[in-house]
Structure 1
């Protein structure tokens, strides 16, 4: 990030005045296509897509050098099963059945990758049909389970997505990540959803084609049924039932994108979407959070806690430590609670303090590498301070027992404010 882009982004958030970033405004008429890597900088991405929270598609030229696009794919553009079996045959992978609805998702099972490839070949021979159902390899943590050297042969992280706090945090804990491989035959699909924690995501087709249906933030409300539930499948004819979906407006169709092989889709924060594989498809996907959507994540977590509290409100007066139990339930349902969110902020803040202390110089101009640099770190501490101030002031966080925390929230906030003062010279 350069100085001018940092100033532009900081002005944007000041103008928001605490409102949630990327809320529903005038819906775009289409999704922009970024053709050429040359001349399209990180600053261009920030101003054109991150700040306005708009989707875009990058051409296959952006992933032309990826090893997976050569090694995982046959000359005919199909998955190279023989190579993949040799490389990953014994790896155990999660597989979902697209023909079975479990709540608003699909049930999963674990199986060796070679067994899934055997099923996939059988599915193709059966004319895209199998008595075992329509199985989709989803959420395979290839990065977590691979060495750095092996990953260098698979993909190169685009600079536009290199400020990735979510995976930076989980890598520090060394327990999980939000980097996935999806692979499945024609007809596999992902139900209607918004990404975890209201993160951004990016998705690259190594081979195959996908159809994306995008709904800007807020438009999903018109899709709720008479019970207030969001749909499982927005292409179902049931969605047109006016009695079941009384709020549906025919004037708000989704934005449709056909993603070709090698192309990279950027999914903004809070955009609901549904994705269908039009061919045999393999994709690499990352979820990520940074200073541009941190407030969205915090807003989402507050909504999640409120939902939990509503569900168990009848026990509020009779259950000892009711607030603590709400946080436990939230952690179980959402994957993170207020305490862990604070630790997330703390770890990222400490890493930014180190960058500022070391006085890195390489990213004073537009970054062309993956390192953060001073201007990005300076922007980050500003976003961290704003969100942490809101966390510290939240009544439900004030109830959390922080006595065992290595750094007290108020002290961390003071350190962030001091760091902001030092960044004024950059």
Structure 2
């Protein structure tokens, strides 16, 4: 299958105008020195009318000006939810803004000699099917009948994911949440799609027709207010009922979402906010999950030093096409599963994860929570009071979230706070003791020096510059669970 506008990748294999010539130089003139990314950044600043005019200048600019992501931005930024998707974002925009325009009335046109990975790769990702090889690994425990004690001992305290198979199947949502039921529940109301309100019917129409590289995701945190009857159709599992953020009442950070998306939609690489844990229950369809533990950054992902920002491939499909085969290149293989209809996944705190919808109209509910087990980590995260690291509430409320949460704990759950503080004190004492013990071993070689100031053979640095091996006594202390310094502690919980 060929690109609808004749665009070809920059490989030199197919990219000419039929006579062996690229049209880039002729089509851009002095602008040909700019990389495609810079050219696209300029086009993103133009209004729709100027973009349409620029398309008449040359074949090369015509191909760039047809890029549907540009027209998608016009729809989302200018139309403010007043759109009804019509085969492409360009047709959608023109149908609303140009009187008498009929979507699909223009004949498709191809140009030769246009080579651009920036245009070709999104089309390739949008048209590629999910590779069956991506679905072969399924290595997360599936459990039913877990008690709270078993769950905490085997999964929450070790910070390991697990799939529960006996929760979602009991929800009324399993038999009720068809598209027709949801359309009735949201009739005359709007849902949150791409951070903006859109009618549910408009989103369903888009979901059925879109050819986006990264399809828009219905990710609605207000669904229980918009359609209160939906709140009665599911309930949080008993294992996660102790949610300490609930002590904040209406001022708690965002915590529950209705998630609906078409085939190949989903969430890109991220960690859940504020060091919370989460659960995700699938009511319709299925999802491919890939997860890495907190200390392993996924291949192709570049978080900022403070973790506030994450740079990754622009779409889920691009990551799977480019990086999935190299998934073990970061030092360990990821944890993976296909989360099926009626199953619920526990997502441990600070795990990297993505989820790719494998079927049309995949429907799920997710919630973030703070249990007593991950409370120390949430408090440690919020203690920075950095608005850049805190999320889920208004910008001006982020810095004060730690103090509000601490006040609520002191008033309503002092027992939980006392246990956290006691664990921290124990960890500090243990670290201080280990530091003192390590100091004794460091003093021993100094006492053994010869009277003439010579350094004993065991303490001399290796001639080749290699690291000096640790004394046997110190190594034994480390093997026994001690440390060589007093740097940091873990609140007494397993990481």
Q: Does the TM-score normalized on the shorter chain lie above 0.5?
A: yes
| Alignment match, 1:138 | 219
Distance 1:385 1:335, change over 3 A: farther
1:160–1:225 Cα change, 3 Å: closer
Q: Could you say if the C-alpha distance between residues 304 and 349 of structure 1 is closer, same or farther in structure 2, counting changes exceeding 3 Å?
A: closer
CA distance in 2, matches of 1:137, 1:220: 27
Deviations 1:191-236 (A, max 9, x none): 1000010110000000100011100010017755498674424725
* Change beyond 3 A, Cα 1:278–1:221: closer
Counting only pairs closer than 5 Å after superposition, residues 235-274 of structure 1 correspond to structure 2 as 235=319, 249-274=329-354
**CA distances 1:15-43 after superposition (whole Å, capped 9, x unpaired):** xxxxxxxxxxxxxx942110x32xx2111
- Using the size of structure 2 for normalisation, the TM-score is 0.50
1:68, CA displacement in angstroms? Answer: 0.7
1:365-414 alpha-carbon deviations (Å, 9 max, x no partner) = xxxxxxxxxxxxx4454226767999xxxxxxxxxxxxxxxxxxxxxxxx
| Matching residue within 183, 194, 197 for 1:85 | 183
Output the CA distance in 2 between the equivalents of 1:187 and 1:334.
Answer: 35
Query: Greater CA radius of gyration, 1 or 2?
Result: 2
Indicate the structure whose relative CO is greater, using CA pairs within 8 Å and at least 6 residues apart. 1
Q: 1:202–1:285: 8 Å Cα contact kept in structure 2?
A: yes
Match of 1:198 in 2: 275
Paired residues in the alignment total: 282
Is the contact made by 1:144 and 1:177 (CA closer than 8 Å) also made in structure 2? no
Q: 1:55 aligns with which of 161, 164, 167?
A: 161
For 1:119, which of 176, 187, 206 is the aligned residue? 206
**How many Å separate the matches in 1 of 2:207 and 2:262?**
7
8 Å CA contact 2:168, 2:282 repeated in 1: no
Aligned to 1:181: 258
With the length of structure 1 as denominator, give the TM-score of the two structures: 0.57
Whether the 8 Å CA contact 2:186–2:226 is kept in 1: the answer is no
Structure 1 vs Structure 2 CA RMSD: 3.8
How far apart, in 1, do the equivalents of 2:381 and 2:237 lie?
27
Aligned residues of 2:279 and 2:366 also touching (Cα < 8 A): yes
1:70 correspondence with 2:70: no
Distance in 1 separating the partners of 2:175 and 2:164 = 19
Unaligned runs of 5+ in 2: 1-137, 428-495
Q: 1:32: which partner in 2?
A: 141
Q: For residue 11 of structure 1, what is the aligned residue in structure 2?
A: none
Match of 1:161 among 240, 263, 267: 240
Displacement after TM superposition at 1:143 (Å) = 3.0
Query: Which among 369, 387, 408 is matched to residue 288 of structure 1?
Result: 369
2: CA distance between counterparts of 1:288 and 1:207?
Answer: 23
Distance across 1 between alignment mates of 2:153 and 2:303: 39
Matched-pair contact (CA < 8 Å) for 2:191–2:223? no
**Separation in 2, partners of 1:114, 1:383:** 48
Q: Per the alignment, do residues 150 and 207 of structure 1 end up closer, same or farther by CA in structure 2, a change over 3 Å counting?
A: closer
**8 Å CA contact retained: 2:240, 2:371:** no
Give the aligned partner of residue 62 of structure 2: none
| The one of 368, 386, 398 aligned to 1:336 | 398
Equivalent pair of 1:66/1:156 in contact (CA under 8 Å): yes
Rounded Cα–Cα distance in structure 1 between residues aligned with 2:187 and 2:148: 37
Change (3 A) 1:32 1:150: closer
Equivalent-residue separation in structure 2 for 1:261 and 1:343 (angstroms): 38
1:137–1:184 CA contact under 8 A, matched in 2? yes
